[in-house]
Chain A
Amino acid sequence: MAVVFEKPKALTDAVLHYCPGCTHGIVHRLVAEVIDELGIEGRTIGIAPVGCSVMAYDYFTVDMVEAAHGRAPAVATGVKRSDPSKIVFTYQGDGDLASIGMCETVHSAARGENITIIFINNAIYGMTGGQMAPTSLPGQVTQTSPYGRNTETQGFPIRVCELLSELDGPAYLERVTVNNVKNVRNAKKAIKKAFQNQIDGKGFSLVEVLSSCPTNWGMTPQKALEWIDEKMIPYYPLGVYRDKDGENNG
């Protein structure tokens, strides 16, 4: 019988612990497909964050390191500097990357560290039960912004790709989402490029993936995907924010 669909080799058989409708599963799969297609499974090392994807180390078949909260880019820097022939990626959420780890994020980008960062932006802290994230939208109700994020007292969301695009260091910055088939395909292209860049020695590549959190947003999975279109994309426009290749710009 012909095989028409199978699990990427770079994913283990472990059952993902993510909530129904969460897009982490899609992004894990895309990363694994890219690792398979580029034939880099044997020389890739992944860095897991603290947050919902903390147990990513169980899901990828590549060697994995679990980092302290926000420190994945520094750990990745150490791994990469130890052996530049390895392909090193981090997989981080918005609290990890844009709040507690912002310093490590900005400086690894400024150094043009030759690593790949997959950044999941779902505008909320999922693992701890739905608190305000650095990327929560103005007015967004969370456990710690129960009256809606008040920008006067709780500040404004951070647009990571735009912020990093002010630096000379990064080679590639793109924001994508995975809320429909077309966007998933586009996200895969971006993730593949972010890994290919590292293989080619081009330097720091970050792909921000607008993701859904039906559980903590209090929505059905379907409604959550629509919310990305309705609320998130207007604040976080999709697109390429830096591409030293000069391709895909605009």
Chain B
Amino acid sequence: MQEKVLMKGNEALAEAAILAGCRHYFGYPITPQTEVAAYMSKKMPKIGGVFLQAESEIAAINMVYGVAATGKRAMTSSSSPGIALKCEGISYLAGSDLPALIVNVQRGGPGLGGIQPSQSDYFLATRGPGHGDFHVIVLAPASVQEMADMTLKGFELADKYRMPCMLLADGTMGQMMEPVVLPDPVELDKTPKDWAVTGTECKREHHIVNSLYLSPKKLEDINLERYERYKKIEEEECLWEEFMMEDAEICIVSCGITARVSRNAILEARKQGIKVGMIRPITLWPFPKKPLLAAAEKVKAFISVELNMGQMKEDIELAVRCKKPVYGCTRVGGMITTVDDILASIKEAVKGDE
């Protein structure tokens, strides 16, 4: 157990990646995640690791692809516009069944947008960021502690299922400082992977890391196998947290910084006699549909609190199968939802039910 330290979210995740055994980081500067690259550039050379400032986000993700192909843990980090550039490479990672961690500390968009916090890449992350049928596992931390913990979890899941994993943080999570207990260093299994390119030593058939299958039947089979894995992930890897849901009549659904604000709004609403609770998705893909569907039997309405125009709201509606109304409480462009914004939505939801 390590001691409690005060750290910025971006630095906590960088240190956690090192503790997770990642020794290869490739990135390109972009606000608000540049501290990750700065931290790695300082740390990696001292521990025999590799920090490389790539010529572009595209090159960075392809360097990650190269390291991942050799069976080692690799990561890159960026923010929204840079993640768009990485999508090609993420699709190839998924198509070649390679594990990797991609960090997205989101800022407002579209286009160049702004540099303030946002959750506007929800669709991009949860719908398979790139061309083709695929998913990445998406983790949404809501504290600096979770920035560190989810980094470890992300590498673990990526390795377990041989697929890319995205840590989807909003800019606030990257920039704010909080006390954090860093994880203990991970002891990695050094057994050579039976798919990695490590040189044949003229002792085995060559390994090929590839996403090209010109036979439609073969390509279909590979997609079907991959979706079997996805099904297993949906069944076994959903993470969420419930807050004051025991007697809740209104259920807020929110992740990241807006989940933090929502907690305060819930406490305030309860002071006013309104029973509100929260389900906070921690994995955005797989999306925690089961607890939401179960809650739909008990609550009168859901409120999706998010820093975009209502992207997660669609997933909530699908999860609760429209059994109960889902209201939206949204701010965009770097504006952050306030307790008052949420209270107003709570009152709207209560009124709507009457």
Report if B127 contacts A (CB, 8 A): no
| Contact assessment for A74 and B200 in the assembled complex, using a CB-CB cutoff below 8 Å | no
Contacts A57-B208, A63-B200, A74-B60 known; 13 new A-B pairs at CB < 8 A: A41-B202, A42-B201, A64-B206, A64-B207, A64-B210, A65-B65, A67-B62, A74-B58, A78-B66, A81-B24, A82-B74, A103-B55, A106-B55
| Contact assessment for A65 and B197 in the assembled complex, using a CB-CB cutoff below 8 Å | yes
Bound: A249/B22 CA distance, A: 43
Report if B166 contacts A (CB, 8 A): no
12 contacts between A and B (CB under 8 A): A42-B200, A43-B199, A65-B65, A67-B65, A71-B58, A74-B62, A74-B63, A75-B62, A77-B59, A78-B63, A81-B50, A103-B58
Bound: A118/B26 CA distance, A: 25
> Given known contacts A57-B208, A77-B52, A78-B26, is B203 in contact with A42 (CB within 8 Å)?
yes
Chain A residues, Cβ within 8 Å of B200: 41-42, 61-63
User: Closest A-chain residue to B196, C-beta based?
Assistant: A63
> Given known contacts A65-B209, A66-B96, A103-B59, is B199 in contact with A77 (CB within 8 Å)?
no
Which bucket holds chain B's interface residue count?
Answer: 35 or more
Chain B residues, Cβ within 8 Å of A47: 66
| Contact assessment for B66 and A65 in the assembled complex, using a CB-CB cutoff below 8 Å | yes
Bound: A106/B210 CA distance, A: 25
Report if A107 contacts B (CB, 8 A): yes
Binding site for B on A (CB under 8 A): 12, 41-45, 47-48, 54-55, 57-58, 60-68, 71, 74-83, 86, 103-104, 106-107
Report if B212 contacts A (CB, 8 A): yes
User: Closest A-chain residue to B197, C-beta based?
Assistant: A63
Binary contact track B48-83/A, C-beta < 8 Å → 1, others 0? 001010111011101111111110101000000000
Chain A residues, Cβ within 8 Å of B212: 54-55, 66
Q: How far is the CB of B162 from chain A (nearest CB, A)?
A: 15
| Contact assessment for B74 and A78 in the assembled complex, using a CB-CB cutoff below 8 Å | yes
A66 partner, pick from B59, B72, B201, B209, beta carbons under 8 A = B209
Chain B residues, Cβ within 8 Å of A103: 55-56, 58-59
| Contact assessment for B66 and A42 in the assembled complex, using a CB-CB cutoff below 8 Å | no
| Contact assessment for A79 and B92 in the assembled complex, using a CB-CB cutoff below 8 Å | no
| Contact assessment for A79 and B69 in the assembled complex, using a CB-CB cutoff below 8 Å | yes
| Contact assessment for A78 and B24 in the assembled complex, using a CB-CB cutoff below 8 Å | yes
Chain B residues, Cβ within 8 Å of A104: 55, 58-59, 62
User: Closest B-chain residue to A106, C-beta based?
Assistant: B55
Q: How far is the CB of A206 from chain B (nearest CB, A)?
A: 17
Q: How far is the CB of B88 from chain A (nearest CB, A)?
A: 6
Chain B residues, Cβ within 8 Å of A79: 66-67, 69-70, 197
Chain A residues, Cβ within 8 Å of B70: 45, 78-79, 82-83
Among B72, B198, B206, residue most surrounded by chain A Cβ atoms (within 10 Å): B206
Q: How far is the CB of A134 from chain B (nearest CB, A)?
A: 18
Bound: A54/B212 CA distance, A: 9
Bound: A75/B197 CA distance, A: 12
Q: How far is the CB of A75 from chain B (nearest CB, A)?
A: 4
Bound: A67/B88 CA distance, A: 11
User: Closest A-chain residue to B52, C-beta based?
Assistant: A81
B67 partner, pick from A60, A67, A78, beta carbons under 8 A = A78
| Contact assessment for B199 and A63 in the assembled complex, using a CB-CB cutoff below 8 Å | yes
Q: Give the residues from 73 to 110 in chain B that come closer than 8 angstroms, CB to CB, to chain A.
A: 74, 88-89, 92, 96
Chain B residues, Cβ within 8 Å of A54: 212
Chain B residues, Cβ within 8 Å of A68: 62, 65, 88-89, 92
Bound: A52/B163 CA distance, A: 28
Chain B residues, Cβ within 8 Å of A64: 197, 206-210
> Given known contacts A65-B69, A68-B92, is B209 in contact with A42 (CB within 8 Å)?
no
Q: How far is the CB of A123 from chain B (nearest CB, A)?
A: 25
Chain A residues, Cβ within 8 Å of B62: 67-68, 71, 74-75, 78, 104
Bound: A41/B200 CA distance, A: 8
A45 partner, pick from B26, B56, B59, B197, beta carbons under 8 A = B197
Binary contact track B128-154/A, C-beta < 8 Å → 1, others 0? 000000000000000000000000000
Q: How far is the CB of A240 from chain B (nearest CB, A)?
A: 26
Chain A residues, Cβ within 8 Å of B72: 82
Bound: A208/B346 CA distance, A: 67
Q: Give the residues from 266 to 316 in chain B that come closer than 8 angstroms, CB to CB, to chain A.
A: none
Chain B residues, Cβ within 8 Å of A45: 70, 197, 199
Chain B residues, Cβ within 8 Å of A62: 199-200, 206
Chain A residues, Cβ within 8 Å of B203: 42
Q: How far is the CB of B222 from chain A (nearest CB, A)?
A: 14
> Given known contacts A68-B62, A75-B65, is B24 in contact with A82 (CB within 8 Å)?
yes
User: Closest B-chain residue to A57, C-beta based?
Assistant: B208
Chain A residues, Cβ within 8 Å of B56: 103
Chain B residues, Cβ within 8 Å of A12: 206
